[in-house]
């Protein structure tokens, strides 16, 4: 059971859409504080010279984790969530990751390269955005807390094969695939996603991640 001192932290994707998780958050009847992060330079947020890559975002999120926390992350935010979890293994109790690379190499998993088109429609993005490439595969076994992987089978940006790969690398992960789900799965299909999230958060987190 969550206690009132716990926090639900919601991380957006590269769109910086802080509203993406709000329908789900509003439906979760949990006595926990909510925190919705925005990324400097994304989604209309002012840029910050102190942020020059995803590692900086991970450090900022980790610095805000000062009590038992449940992390929810979408797409690019999933890499940030992994970094924050590895940095604060004693405080992150559950992960809910939606359609994310999770910081693994996806080049052979059928994902389209969505960054050029996204850049075309968002020309003011930070320059580091297109250069970031991560492979946390060797470190994911350290994350032993319960992880819920939410995927849609109609998402060319993050195909189900990525979720399957993450499930294989994470010791305590469950993959849920929503038929017809797109990259905005957690917003568009909240009724389908909600029961899985509620069940996931009831799982024991007695074995924390190892740092």
Residue-wise pLDDT for 152-196, tens only, equals 999 999 999 999 999 999 999 999 999 999 999 999 999 999 999
Question: pLDDT at position 133, please?
Answer: 84
Instruction: Note down pLDDT in tens along the chain; length 211 residues.
Output: 444 458 999 999 988 999 999 999 999 988 899 999 999 999 889 999 999 999 999 999 999 999 999 999 999 999 999 999 999 999 999 999 999 999 998 889 988 888 888 888 888 888 888 888 889 999 999 999 999 999 999 999 999 999 999 999 999 999 999 999 999 999 999 999 999 999 999 887 544 444 4
Tokens of 95: 């992960």
- Show the domains of the chain with their CATH numbers: 7-201 (3.40.50.1820)
Predicted TM-score (pTM) of the model is 0.91
Tokens of 19: 């509203």
Beta strands 92-98; 147-152: pairing state? parallel
CA dihedral 130, 154, 185, 68 (to 10 degrees): -70
Task: Report the C-alpha gap between 3 and 7 in whole angstroms.
Answer: 9
């Amino acid at each position: 059971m969550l206690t009132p001192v716990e926090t639900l932290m919601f991380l957006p994707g590269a769109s910086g859409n802080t509203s993406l998780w709000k329908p789900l958050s509003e439906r979760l009847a949990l006595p926990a504080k909510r925190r919705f992060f925005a990324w400097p330079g994304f989604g209309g947020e002012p840029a910050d010279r102190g942020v020059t890559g995803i590692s900086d975002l991970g450090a900022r999120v980790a610095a805000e984790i000062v009590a038992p926390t449940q992390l929810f992350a979408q797409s690019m935010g999933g890499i940030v969530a992994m970094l924050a979890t590895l940095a604060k293994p004693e405080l992150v109790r559950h992960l809910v990751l939606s359609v994310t690379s999770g910081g693994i190499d996806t080049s052979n998993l059928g994902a389209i390269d969505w960054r050029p088109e996204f850049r075309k429609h968002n020309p003011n993005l930070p320059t580091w955005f297109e250069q970031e490439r991560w492979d946390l595969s060797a470190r994911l076994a350290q994350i032993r807390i319960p992880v819920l992987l939410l995927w849609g089978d109609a998402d060319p940006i993050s195909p189900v094969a990525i979720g399957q790969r993450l499930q294989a690398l994470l010791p305590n992960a469950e993959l849920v695939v929503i038929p017809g789900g797109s990259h905005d799965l957690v917003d568009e299909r909240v009724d389908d996603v909600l029961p899985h999230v509620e069940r996931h958060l009831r799982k024991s987190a007695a074995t924390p991640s190892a740092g």
